[in-house]
Structure 1
Amino acid sequence: MTSEVIIDARPKEISIALLEDKCLVEYQNEPREASYAVGNIYVGKVRKLMPGLNACFVDVGSEKDAFLHYLDLGLQFSSYEKYLKQVASDRKKLYPIQKATIQPTLPKEGSIQNILKVGQEIMVQVVKEPINTKGPRLTCELSFAGRYMVLIPFGDKVSVSSKIKRGEERSRLKQLVQSMKPKNFGVIVRTVAEGKKAAELDQELKVLLKRWEDAITKVQKTTERPQLVFEEQTRAVALLRDLFNPTYDGIHVNDPEIYNQIHDYVSLIAPEKASIVKLYKGNVPIFDNFDVTKQIKSGFGRTVNYKRGAYLIIEHTEAMHVVDVNSGTRIKKENGQEANALETNLGAADELARQLRLRDMGGIIVVDFIDMNLAEDRQLLYERMCENMKKDRARHNILPLSKFGLMQITRQRVRPAMDVAVEESCPTCHGTGKIKSSILFTDQLESKIDRLVNKIGIKRFTLHVHPYVAAFINQGVFSLKRRWQLKYGLGVRIIPNQKMAFLQYEFYDANRQFIDMQEENEVSK
C-alpha cells in the first residue's frame, strides 16, 4: 500500500489530505488563525463554579468559557497549584520543577468547591475543541506529546504502550526511560518507540523538556491572564507526528515555510526519509494535481456513492450520526437476494470505515444495513467492519448487528466532524438568480486584467478559472490567452482550478497572494 500526504497551504487556510493507494482517507481543513487546538496550554481564570455538576467554567480567552470537571483536575493538582504560586512569586529567577515538593494527591470523591474558588488562576490544557454550542473541554493533567513518548510533569511513573507485546522490549524501554528522565516527570512510551535506540529517545526527551521550560517561563515572565503559554505544533507537523510511517512514499507541500518545518521535523525523527518531503511548484493547484479535489467533492455530502450504484445516506443530528445503506440501482445476483444484500453491506462497511476517518465523525454512529437472514453473513459483516476500523487511530467500539439489522459504533470525538459543502453557491449572482450575459464574461475578465496591469501596476499574476472556461480561453492557435499576453505581457497566466464555480475567478500575484478584484456592481440586481 502506498501512502502520501498532500498539504495545500493557502493565505487563509491549510488543508491536509492523506491518500492510501491514491484514495482519500483523511482530510483536515482549518483557518490559519485557528486557535484552541487540542494540546494548547493556557493559564486561565476560574469564572464560575458548578457544584451540582462538580465542575467549573474557566476563561481561557475563547468565545465560550471552557469546561473543567473535578475528575479532570488530576491527582497531582495540588502540586501544580503550589508550583504555579512559586513560579509567579519570582519574576526574575525560575523555580526549578526538580526542587518542587510533591503534594498529597486529590481524593477521587472530592468536591470542586473545596479545591477551587472564583478568580483563581490555573494551568489547563485543551483536550476537546469547541463543538456546536459547547466550549472547549479542559484538563489539569498536562502532557507534551512527541513521536516516541509523552512527557507528564509532576508524574513519576514510566508506562509503556500495551501494544508493545514483547516482555523484554517493554522492560528495556522502561529501564531506559527511567534512567534518563528528570525528577518529578512521568513518561508514557508510545508504540512507535519499539526498537528505538537510547540516543533517539534521549533526543526527543530533551525536546519535550524544552517545551515545558518554555511554557513555564512564559507563565513566570508575564502577568496577562488568560494567556496561551504553549501552542501545539502547526497542524501539518502535529498530524505527521501521529500519522508518520516509514513506508510513506511522499509528503508534498506547496508552501516553502511549511515545507521547511516538515522537512526539519522528518529529518529529526527519520533522517533517512527526509527526501520524501517535496516542495510542489506546479502551476496546477496541488489538490487538483493529485486528484484530491474531485474526491473531496464526491466524498462529502449527504449521499455517498460506492460500488455498482449502491450508496450511503449520512445524516448528522445533535446526538448522533445516522447512516442508511441502500442498494440503489444494483442488479440482483443470480444466487438471490441474500448474496446481493451481503455484497452491498460489505461494500458499505468498506466505505463507511473510510467515511468515519475522512469526516472525523465522533460520538454515536448508528448504521442501518440491508437486512440479512443468515447469522453467518451478519457475523461476516461485523468482522469486516472490525478489520476495516483497525486503521483508525481514534478510540472506537463496534457492536454486532442487532435483530433489527442496526450496527452501533462509538468513536472518540475531540473536534467537530468535518463538514465540507460540496454544493456550490453561484459566485456571480450571489443567489439573485440573475447574472450578466455569459458571452460577456471574457470581456469582464479582460477589463480586470487591463486595470490590474495598467492602473494597479501588477505585471505578473495568475488567473484561476473553472477548467471549462480555461479551455475556452486556451482554444485555438491564436487563443484569447495569447492575445492577452501580446497586449498585456507574458506575465498573464491562466490556471484551470477545479474548486472554481463555472463563472468564478480569482487573481493571485507572483507571490501567490490573493488579489481582490470583485466589485459590487458586477452583480445584476
Structure 2
Amino acid sequence: MASELVVDVQPKEITLAVLDNKKLVELQQESQDESFAVGNIYLGRVKKLMPALNAAFVDVGHKKDAFLHYLDLGVEFNSVASFLKTVQDKKKIPLLQKMKLLPEIEKEGSISDKLKVGQEVLVQIAKEPISTKGPRLTAEISFAGRFMVLIPFIERVSVSQKIKSREERARLRQLVQSIKPKNFGVIIRTNAEGKRVAELDAELKVLVKRWEETAEKLPKAKAPSLVFEETGRTVGLLRDIFSPSFEQIHINDPGVAKQIAEYVSIIAPDRKNVVKHYNGATPILDNFGVTKQIKSLFGKTVTFKNGAYLIIEHTEALHVIDVNSGNRNKQSLGQEESAFEVNLAAAEEIARQLRLRDMGGIIVVDFIDMTSGEHRNKLFNKMNELLASDRAKHKILPLSKFGLMQITRQRVRPEMELATSEVCPTCFGKGKIKSSILFTDTLEGKIDYLANKLKVKKFSLHIHPYVAAYVQQGLISLKYKWKKKYGVAMKVIPNQSLGFLQYQFYDKDNNEIDLKEEVEMK
C-alpha cells in the first residue's frame, strides 16, 4: 500500500496527514506552543496525597494538577528518588553507570510511604490533559527510539511480544545486553527485528545522550519545570509509523523539512530522498486533497458506500456509532446478505474513523441486525483484522444478541474534533449578508487600501476556489484589471479551507495581513 505523509506547518499549529493510496487515514494537529505532550519529562512537586486512591496530585505547571498513581511510580522509584536527592544536595550529577541501584518497590505498597507533600519528583507525561482532567504521569522515566525504549535505573532487557521467532528474540536480547551501559534497561521494539548491531548501537547512544542532557538540567531546575521535551510531533509520528511503504513525505516548511530529512537519514539512509520540500502556491493540504477529505470525514454523518452512512455521537462516557443502509438498494441480494455487505463496508470505515479521529475509551457500534451466526462471526473477525495495524491498544468483543459491538481503545491524547460547518464570514451567524455580487467590490477596496495606504505592492490573495475561478476568468480578468489599475504584483490562490465569501491577504514573506471586517452587520 502506497503511503504518503503531508505536513502543513503554520505559525500557530502543525498538521500531519497520513494518506494510504490517497485516502486520509490519520490526522494529527498540534499547537506550536503546545506543552504537556506525551513523553515530556518534568521536575514536579507533590501537592496532595490521596491515600484512598493510592495516588498523588503533582504540580507540573498545568492549570490542573497531574495525577500519579502508586502503580505508575515504577519498580525503580527508590533509585530515581535517591539520584534526585543526591543531585539536589550536592548540586552535582552522579554517573548512573557507577551508582548502586536500590531494591525495587513493593507492588502492594502505599503512596504515603514513598511520597510526601512538597517533595520534588521526576515524572513523565503518560497522557495529555483531556477535557477537564489534568495530565496523567508516570515516574518510570523512558526515552523512546525507533528500535528500542531506554529506561534508566533498571537492568532488565525485554523484547516485544510481536517478534515471534525464538531465535531472533534471543539474538536481540543477547546483542542489546552486550552493548547497553550498566544500570540502563531496554525494551526492544518490533522494528528492531532483523536489524544489525551497528544500527541498534547508534540509536542506543542517541538515547543515552538524551538521558545525560536531561540529568544535566536537574541541578539548576526548580519545580515545576520542564527538563526534557519529547521530539517534535512530526518526528515523533515518523518514529512510530515510518516504514518502507512511505513513498513521499511532503513538508511546506524548509526548516522542518531539513529536520525530517536528517532524522530519516539516520534511521533509514536509503530512504532519505523521500523527503520533499513543497513550495507550491496552492495550500499544501488542498494540493494533496486533504482539506476536502477532512470536510467530509469529521462531521456527525459520514457516508461510506452506495448511500450507506454512519452517525457518530460522542458522550462523556462513550462513543456511539450507528450503521445505516440509507437509500442503498440491491434487489439481487436478500435482506440478510444486504445487511452483511453493508456491515462489512461499515467495519472498514469505522476502523478508519477510530484511527483518524483518535477516538478512545469505550466505543459501541450498532450494526444492522443479522440473524446468521456465520455472518456475525465473519464481521467480528473482519473488525479484528482491520484494527490489527492500529498502534493504539484495543480490545473488541463479539456482537451481542442485540447486534452491538463493544470496542475499547487506548486514549493518550484528546480526541480529534474538527468543525466541518462554516460560519458565514459576513453576517457572523445573523442570517443576513451583503449581496454576494458586491463581494468583488469589497476585494477591490481592500486591494486599493493595501496598495495606496499601506504601500504593499507584492502580495497574495487567498479566496474560495469558486470565487478564484470567477476573478481569473477571461483574457481581461478582474485580476488583470486590478493589477493594472493599482500597480501591484498579486497572486490569486484558491483555498478550500475558506468559506465562500472569506478572504485572506499574505505579504511576500507569507505573513497574513489582517484586513478583515471588524463591524458585524446589524
> TM-score interval w.r.t. the shorter chain?
over 0.9
Change over 3 Å in CA distance of 1:309–1:88 after alignment to 2: same
Residue 333 (structure 1) aligns with = 331
Q: How does 1:71-220 map to 2 (within 5 A)?
A: 71-91=71-91, 93-220=92-219
Following the alignment from structure 1 to structure 2, what is the Cα–Cα distance between the partners of residues 426 and 96? 61
Following the alignment from structure 1 to structure 2, what is the Cα–Cα distance between the partners of residues 428 and 367? 40
3-state SS of 1:106 partner: coil
Following the alignment from structure 1 to structure 2, what is the Cα–Cα distance between the partners of residues 190 and 138? 22
Following the alignment from structure 1 to structure 2, what is the Cα–Cα distance between the partners of residues 121 and 427? 50
Q: Which amino acid aligns with 1:465?
A: I
1:294 Cα shift? 0.7
Following the alignment from structure 2 to structure 1, what is the Cα–Cα distance between the partners of residues 447 and 215? 53
Following the alignment from structure 1 to structure 2, what is the Cα–Cα distance between the partners of residues 148 and 511? 40
Following the alignment from structure 2 to structure 1, what is the Cα–Cα distance between the partners of residues 451 and 147? 53
Among 259, 262, 273, the residue aligned to 1:261: 259
Deviations 1:39-74 (A, max 9, x none): 000000001111111111110011111000111111
Q: Is the 8 A contact 1:453 1:459 kept in 2?
A: yes
Q: Is the 8 A contact 1:313 1:325 kept in 2?
A: yes
Could you list the runs of 4 or more consecutive aligned residues of structure 1 that deviate by over 4 angstroms after TM superposition? Answer: none
Residue 20 (structure 2) aligns with = 20
Q: How does 1:116-515 map to 2 (within 5 A)?
A: 116-220=115-219, 222-489=220-487, 491-515=489-513
3-state SS of 1:127 partner: strand
1:448 Cα shift? 1.6
Q: Which amino acid aligns with 1:215?
A: T
Change over 3 Å in CA distance of 1:460–1:140 after alignment to 2: same
Among 508, 511, 516, the residue aligned to 1:518: 516
Following the alignment from structure 1 to structure 2, what is the Cα–Cα distance between the partners of residues 502 and 136? 40
Following the alignment from structure 2 to structure 1, what is the Cα–Cα distance between the partners of residues 136 and 485? 58
Q: Is the 8 A contact 2:251 2:277 kept in 1?
A: yes
Q: Is the 8 A contact 1:507 1:515 kept in 2?
A: yes
Q: Is the 8 A contact 1:333 1:339 kept in 2?
A: no
Deviations 1:227-256 (A, max 9, x none): 001111111110000010012110000111
Change over 3 Å in CA distance of 1:87–1:478 after alignment to 2: same
Q: Which runs of 5+ in 2 are unaligned?
A: none
TM-score, length-scaled by structure 2: 0.98
Q: Is the 8 A contact 1:11 1:513 kept in 2?
A: no
1:86 Cα shift? 1.1
Q: Is the 8 A contact 2:451 2:488 kept in 1?
A: no
Deviations 1:269-294 (A, max 9, x none): 00110111000111111111111111
1:226 Cα shift? 0.4
Deviations 1:398-427 (A, max 9, x none): 111111111111111101111111011112
1:95 Cα shift? 1.6
TM-score, length-scaled by structure 1: 0.98
Q: Is the 8 A contact 2:343 2:367 kept in 1?
A: yes
3-state SS of 2:213 partner: helix
Deviations 1:353-384 (A, max 9, x none): 00000000111111010110111011111111
Change over 3 Å in CA distance of 1:346–1:80 after alignment to 2: same
Following the alignment from structure 1 to structure 2, what is the Cα–Cα distance between the partners of residues 209 and 515? 46
Following the alignment from structure 1 to structure 2, what is the Cα–Cα distance between the partners of residues 195 and 453? 62
Q: Is the 8 A contact 2:471 2:478 kept in 1?
A: yes
Following the alignment from structure 1 to structure 2, what is the Cα–Cα distance between the partners of residues 210 and 285? 38
Q: Is the 8 A contact 1:362 1:417 kept in 2?
A: yes
Change over 3 Å in CA distance of 1:82–1:309 after alignment to 2: same
Q: Identity rate of aligned residues, in percent?
A: 62
Tell me, yes or no, if structure 1 residue 55 matches structure 2 residue 52: no
Following the alignment from structure 1 to structure 2, what is the Cα–Cα distance between the partners of residues 298 and 196? 41
1:490 Cα shift? 5.0
Q: Is the 8 A contact 1:87 1:95 kept in 2?
A: yes
Q: Is the 8 A contact 1:11 1:514 kept in 2?
A: no
Following the alignment from structure 2 to structure 1, what is the Cα–Cα distance between the partners of residues 274 and 161? 31
3-state SS of 1:481 partner: helix
Following the alignment from structure 1 to structure 2, what is the Cα–Cα distance between the partners of residues 274 and 133? 42
Q: Which amino acid aligns with 2:112?
A: Q
Following the alignment from structure 2 to structure 1, what is the Cα–Cα distance between the partners of residues 224 and 339? 56
1:508 Cα shift? 1.4
1:456 Cα shift? 2.1
3-state SS of 1:16 partner: strand
Q: Is the 8 A contact 2:8 2:251 kept in 1?
A: yes
Tell me, yes or no, if structure 1 residue 38 matches structure 2 residue 67: no
Q: Which amino acid aligns with 1:212?
A: W
